Every structure is written in structure tokens, then in C-alpha cells.
Structure 1
Amino acid sequence: MNDQQLLRYSRHILLPQIEYEGQDKLVNSHALIVGAGGLGSPVALYLAAAGVGTLTICDFDVVDLTNLQRQIVHTTSAVGVNKAVSAQATLQAINPEITVNTVCEKSSAADFEKLITQADVVIDCSDNFATRYLLNRLCVQLKKPLVSGAAIGFEGQVTVYDMRSDNSPCYHCLFPDNGEDSDLRCATNGVFAPLVGMIGTCQAAEALKILMAIGDSLQGRLLLLDALSMEWRTIKLSKDPACTVCA
């Protein structure tokens, strides 16, 4: 790290759990963020500010005025701009020390396989089951840690599927794919603005901990938030021995 980076990240370096070694790991890490919407916004902002050296952001959608109530990485002037490109501009303004790659087209399974192979951690900020199942399957196959989050209405959830561990459950263990299309989207169901920030920030924290190999991750635990009553609950997760993806 150069002198500017040492100053920029000094409050991390002061933490005994991180110090220079941990921050250096972040600077030399690569995170893949799938989705630059409500969850992807705080994830991208905090990973960029924290100094993750390379971020790759995937989103083929464009910024809409209705997004700005919660998708804080975008501004009014970005309406009509691709979300990954809009996020890139914001992140580079916050931290010019990092590299931000964008994927602006809808990615195929082969595309995601290449992207996940290059990444040290994958953060799923998507809003549909098809993408979640695909990312999960590829992370199981490639043994990459997957930080998963979801939010709708006033309720959110976050967990970690770390396929580097033989004991880790996967997304399919928790939500088996039964072939039904039951996606809940913010566009038709609504979402409380701060909720995605709270869940996305948790995802960012888990990703940073994984990259630095510190603390205990949410592997094997599902964290649930009811923002209306402001109650957090934790559910223990186990690997499904009959899972068709990771068993």
C-alpha cells in the first residue's frame, strides 16, 4: 500500500483484528457483486470505501426514478443510465484507488462461471430465483464463498454459503428449486427504504470478514430482520444430505 492508502484505511489498520495485514488482503482482493440495486448499492459503497482492490459489478438494468428511494449508489442525474455504469462512477469518486469493472449485459451461465472463477467472494444482490440458483450452483462447483441477501416489504434475510467448507449448506438446501416461479419483486410488492441498506450492509460486513479471514461468518446461520418491529432472529441451517446441488 502507498502512503495515501495507509492514511485512507488507517481506521481499519488501527483495529487489532485487521491491522496492516488484513487491509492488505482487502487491497489485493476481488469481489463480484451481482446486482446494483437496493442491496447492491450499500454492498458496493462499503466494499469500495473499505478498499477492496477490484470490484466487478453485474447489472443489465438502467436506473429508474422509482429506484432512487432506496438504491443509494445512484443519483437523479443517472436516470436512464445502466446501473453498473452508474455505480462505477459513484464508487470511483469515493475511492479512486480501486478498480471497478462493469458487466452491463445479461450474463449467461458461462459468463458467470468466468466471473466467479476470478473472484474471491461473490455477493448475491439479485432479485430473482433463477439468478440465485445459478450463482449457488456455480459457487458450489467452484468452491467460492457466496454472501446471500434478500429484502421485501419490511422483512430481510442474510446468510453465507461458504463452499470451501464441506459442512456448509447451500442456497438450494434452504430453498429447494421446485420449478415454480414465485419471485417477489420490489416493483410489484414495495420495500421499506432503509431495509435494503441494513441487509446490504450486513452482506458487506460478511464479505469483508471473509476476504480478511477474520471473525465468524454467518455460515450455517440465517439472520432474519423484521424492520417494522425491529427484531432480529437467527435460524440455524444444516446441510441437506439429499440436496441435488451440494450433497
Structure 2
Amino acid sequence: MLSSKELQRYSRQIMLPQAGEDGQKKLSSARIMIVGLGGLGSPAAMYLAAAGIGELHLVDGDHIDLSNLQRQVLYKTNHQGKSKAMVAAQQLAAANPTIRIHPHNQMANESWLREQVKQVDLVLDCTDNLEIRHTINRVCYQAGCPVVMASVQGFSGQLISFDFSEGKGPCYACLFPPQEQAEVQNCSTAGVIGPALGVVGSMQALEAMKYLMDLPVSSLNKLHLIETETLALQTLQLPSHSNCPVCNT
């Protein structure tokens, strides 16, 4: 049963026929891991906390820098030099003290992720590191854990989701085989417009909520190319790759 305060706090989404009280209960019992608390992780975490996700695991070993503040909207000027995971946890707890928040002040590595993914229902990949993204894909596939992945460079964003709960592909490595990857730029080397991260990070949160409420997930096995400069959206169906080193479908 939802408490009277929960019914009031989440009333605007509970009144939606796609959600209702049952949907809110599913959100309230869900556990999500967000890997990367930068430009994508900030808006995604804020919306998931506000929506009443029962438990958030926040993973980032970085510290807040002045250059982050143009796009990483969880942080303020006086947070410079502090741990992103710890500050994010404090900010989100202030926004919604009814949920459980677990900060992990460390960079995600494969052995650590293998243990931690067992404790959650879904992972959001909000990183800007290709090697870590492939690690997240591999670990989530092996653990049967759904994942929502996104990236943004300049004005251009990408979004795709995978449901590995049935142990099937396709996966991120089908789309971008690890052995074929050239050097990829990120926000630090190529630049990025802040609101584009807000748009794509919010879409990640939305897809996660839809999955948890058993609603159709539009990005499931589909690569969404989001051009915020022109507001154009293109969707590509991802086929399985018979030679994929991860899902080997």
C-alpha cells in the first residue's frame, strides 16, 4: 500500500492510466544503478529520484570540476573538488528523502560490477568512456540485467536499451564490435551542448521507468539518433550479429 504522503507526492503520475497505483508500487520497489554522474547521469538521477524509484545506486569515482558545471546540473559552484557520488546522493536525498540512495565513490570496473549488478533490477549507462560501456554491456548480458545506454557529443545523442533478462541478444557489441573501435572523442575532447545531455538523460530515465512499469520500451533493440540542433530523430532497428563476442547470437 502506498502511504498518503506517497499518494500526494506522486499524484500527477499516478493519475496517468499507463501508471496508476500499481505502476507507482513497481517504481517504489525498483532498484536502479546509474553508472556515471555527469551530464547524462545528472538529469537521469534527478528524474528517477523525483519519480520515487525505491533504491538508487550512484556510481562515479570522479570529483566535481568547474568545467562540469555547464552541463552537470546536480552540482553547484561550492561543490568543486568534492566527490560526485557523495554530492549527488546528498542532492537527491534532499529532493526526495523517502527513497534509499547508495553512493559508490569509485570508477566501475568489471569485477566490482559483476557483484553489484546482482543487487539491482536495471542499469543506466551514463558514461562517456567506450571501454566502460563495453564492460557494462558484457556484465549486464552475463547477469541478465536490463540496461539503458546513451551518449552525447556536440549536439548529437544516441539512445538504446537492451533487455537481457532472457539471456538473449542483440547487445551493444553487435552494434559497435569492440575490435573495430577507433579512438572515440568525449565531452572533454570534442565539446558538448548542455541541454542535449538533459534531453537524452531524461529519455534514459523515461525508458527506465517504462520498463519497470511493464510499458513498451521504444528504444528496446533500437538505436535512436537524436540531433538536437535540428530536432531530428532517426530510429534504426538493431539486428543480432552472429559473430558478436558477447551475446554470440
Q: Do these two structures clear the TM 0.5 threshold for a shared fold by scoring above it? A: yes
Q: CA deviation at 1:108?
A: 2.8
Q: Does 1:154 align with 2:158?
A: no
Matched residue SS, 2:200: helix
Aligned-partner residue type, residue 127 of structure 2:
S
The answer on whether the counterparts of 1:210 and 1:217 sit within 8 Å (CA) in structure 2 is no
Query: 2:199 matched to 1:191?
Result: no
Name the residue aligned to 1:92. Answer: 93
User: Aligned equivalents of 1:42 and 1:119: distance in 2?
Assistant: 20
Is the contact made by 2:134 and 2:173 (CA closer than 8 Å) also made in structure 1?
A: yes
Partner of 1:105: 106
User: Runs of 5+ in structure 2 lacking a partner?
Assistant: none
Is the contact made by 2:35 and 2:108 (CA closer than 8 Å) also made in structure 1? no
Q: Which runs of 5+ in 1 are unaligned?
A: none
Amino acid paired to 1:194: P
The residue correspondences of 1:57-96 to structure 2 (distance < 5 A) are: 57-96=58-97
- Of stretches 97-106 and 107-116 in structure 1, the one that deviates more from structure 2 is 107-116
Aligned to 1:8: 9
Q: TM-score, normalised by structure 1?
A: 0.96
CA contact (8 A) 2:141 2:167 kept: no
Aligned equivalents of 1:107, 1:148: Cα separation in 2:
15
Give the distance between the partners of 2:138 and 2:167, measured in 1 at CA.
Answer: 15
Supply the AA of the counterpart residue of 2:32. A
Question: Matches of 1:158 and 1:8 in 2, distance apart?
Answer: 29
**Distance of 1:243 and 1:79 partners within structure 2:** 42
Residue 117 of structure 1 is matched in structure 2 by: 118
| Matched residue, 2:218 | 217
Shift of 1:242: 1.5
Secondary structure, counterpart of 1:84 in structure 2: helix
Give 1:168 shift. Answer: 3.9
After superposing the two structures, state which structure 1 stretch, 52-61 or 74-83, moved more: 74-83
Paired residue secondary structure (2:68): helix
Distance in 2 (alpha carbons) for counterparts of 1:182 and 1:165: 32
Give how far 1:54 is off: 0.3
Rounded Cα–Cα distance in structure 2 between residues aligned with 1:69 and 1:48: 22
Calculate percent identity across the aligned residue pairs.
40
Paired residue type of 2:246: V
Q: Which residue of 2 aligns with 1:35?
A: 36
Provide the C-alpha distance between the structure 1 equivalents of 2:180 and 2:225, rounded to a whole number of angstroms.
Answer: 25
Cα distance between partner residues in 1 of 2:104 and 2:157: 26
Aligned to 1:18: 19
Map of 2:131 onto structure 1: 130
Counterpart in the other structure of 2:232 = 231
Deviations 1:225-246, CA, capped at 9 Å, x for gaps? 1111221111111111221100
2:172 is matched with 171
Contact 1:209 1:217 survives alignment (8 Å) = no
Instruction: State the TM-score, normalizing by the size of structure 2.
Output: 0.96
User: Within 2, Cα distance between the matches of 1:174 and 1:107?
Assistant: 22
Counterpart contact for 1:88–1:102, Cα < 8 Å: yes
- Per-residue CA shift, 1:147-181, capped at 9, x if unaligned? 00000111101010111246541010000001756
Give CA-to-partner distance per residue, 1:12-58, whole Å, 9 cap, x none: 11111111111001101100000000000011000000000100000
Q: Does the Cα contact within 8 Å between 2:150 and 2:200 map onto a contact in 1?
A: yes
Report if the CA contact (8 A) 1:167-1:239 is conserved. Answer: no
CA distance in 2, matches of 1:211, 1:217: 13
CA 1:70–1:239: 2 relative to 1, 3 Å: same
Alignment of 1:198-209 (within 5 A): 198-209=199-210
> Equivalents in 1 of 2:73, 2:108: separation in Å?
24
* One-letter code aligned to 1:21: D
Alpha-carbon shift at residue 216 of structure 1 (Å) = 3.1
Offset of residue 221 of structure 1: 0.9
Question: Cα distance, 1:213 vs. partner?
Answer: 1.0
What's the offset of the Cα at 1:141? 0.4
CA distance in structure 2 between the partners assigned to 1:108 and 1:215 by the alignment: 31
